[in-house]
């Protein structure tokens, strides 16, 4: 017999929510003193979990931006050093980006993660290129604004303002991976004549960029 009792339906829905929010099953703070497994660290004994396991304080520090890009990133997940043990098993990573005026995080993609950036200081001109139609979605983000870069798409962040800029990013995977377009083309031993053939950038320019980005051939 088909059961249409609304009371039972409500009970069933409530029970599913209850299971989903069972505190014991909803987190596994990594015990960093033990050996990690491919799925992360074994869980810390719940008695030894403290609020500090869920708080990451490393991003209060400014990152050194003395480099050619005038920009730097520090990334963290549950296993990096310093680690954020509360992220263990949650499939997330976080990062802080510091960008000087005129600096840039070069065009890159994260094959495994969607990224969301929050502008904590200054302003950041950010954008991504859509996959199928190569439409460029770009906008100058002011302090407090958030932008999302869908997984795998090429994106960038540039400081076109006059103040130091800081972005806090979160990623939908503990290991987002990163591929920089400039290094993929000019930072390796991809033969220059093939780079010219496959990108239409003339060989002299290719050799110049290879010298700049540590490539050869």
Ligand X SMILES: *[C@@H]1O[C@H](CO)[C@@H](O)[C@H](O)[C@H]1NC(C)=O
Are 139 and 147 in contact by the 8 Å Cβ rule? The answer is: yes
User: Helical H runs in 84-127?
Assistant: none
* Among 158, 56, 171, 178, CA closest to 116: 171
108 among annotated binding-site residues: yes
Please give the DSSP secondary-structure letter assigned to residue 184.
H
In DSSP terms, 118 is beta-bridged to 146, 168
The CB-of-40 to ligand X minimum distance in angstroms stands at: 5
- Selected from 35, 64, 133, 200, the binder of ligand X by CB under 6 A is 64
Restricted to residues 78-117, the positions that interact with ligand X (CB under 6 A) are 78-80
Residue 37 as a binder of ligand X (CB under 6 A): the answer is no
- Beta carbon nearer to ligand X, 42 or 106: 42
Count the site residues for ligand X by CB under 6 A: 12
**What element of type H or E holds 174?**
none
The CB-of-78 to ligand X minimum distance in angstroms stands at: 5
User: Helical H runs in the chain?
Assistant: 6-20, 23-26, 181-186, 192-199, 203-213
- How far are the Cα atoms of 23, 174, 193 from residue 83, in angstroms, in the given order? 22, 12, 44
- Beta carbon nearer to ligand X, 75 or 143: 75
121 among annotated binding-site residues: no
- Rounded distance, CA 115 to CA 37, Å? 25
Restricted to residues 156-175, the positions that interact with ligand X (CB under 6 A) are 174-175
- Beta carbon nearer to ligand X, 82 or 131: 82
Examine residue 50 and say whether the peptide bond preceding it is cis (omega within 30 degrees of 0).
Answer: no
The CB-of-26 to ligand X minimum distance in angstroms stands at: 18
| Backbone phi, psi, residue 75, to 5° | -115, 150
164 among annotated binding-site residues: no
The CB-of-187 to ligand X minimum distance in angstroms stands at: 18
115 among annotated binding-site residues: yes
The CB-of-38 to ligand X minimum distance in angstroms stands at: 9
Binding residues for Mn(2+): 108, 110, 115, 155
Binding residues for oxalate: 110, 115
Point out which residues bind ligand X (CB under 6 A). Answer: 40, 45, 47-48, 64, 66, 77-80, 174-175
């Amino acid at each position: 017999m088909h059961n249409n009792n609304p009371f039972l339906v409500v009970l069933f829905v409530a029970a599913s929510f209850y299971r989903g929010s069972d505190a014991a099953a909803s987190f596994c703070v990594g015990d960093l003193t033990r050996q990690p497994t491919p799925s992360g660290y074994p869980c810390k004994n719940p008695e030894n979990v403290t609020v500090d396991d869920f708080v990451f304080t490393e991003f209060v520090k400014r990152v050194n931006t003395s480099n050619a890009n005038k920009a730097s990133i520090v990334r963290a997940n549950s296993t990096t050093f310093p680690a954020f043990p509360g992220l263990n098993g949650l499939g997330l990573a976080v990062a802080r980006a510091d960008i000087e005026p005129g600096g840039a995080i070069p065009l890159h993609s994260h094959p495994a993660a969607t990224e969301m950036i929050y502008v904590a200081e200054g302003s950041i001109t950010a954008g991504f290129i859509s996959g199928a139609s190569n439409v460029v979605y770009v906008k100058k983000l002011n302090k407090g604004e958030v932008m999302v870069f869908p997984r795998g798409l090429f994106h960038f962040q540039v400081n076109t303002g006059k103040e130091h800029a800081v972005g806090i990013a979160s990623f939908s995977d503990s290991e987002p991976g990163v591929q920089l377009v400039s290094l993929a083309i000019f930072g390796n031993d991809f033969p220059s004549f093939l780079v010219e053939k496959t990108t239409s950038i003339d060989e002299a320019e290719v050799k110049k960029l290879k010298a700049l980005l540590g490539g050869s051939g």
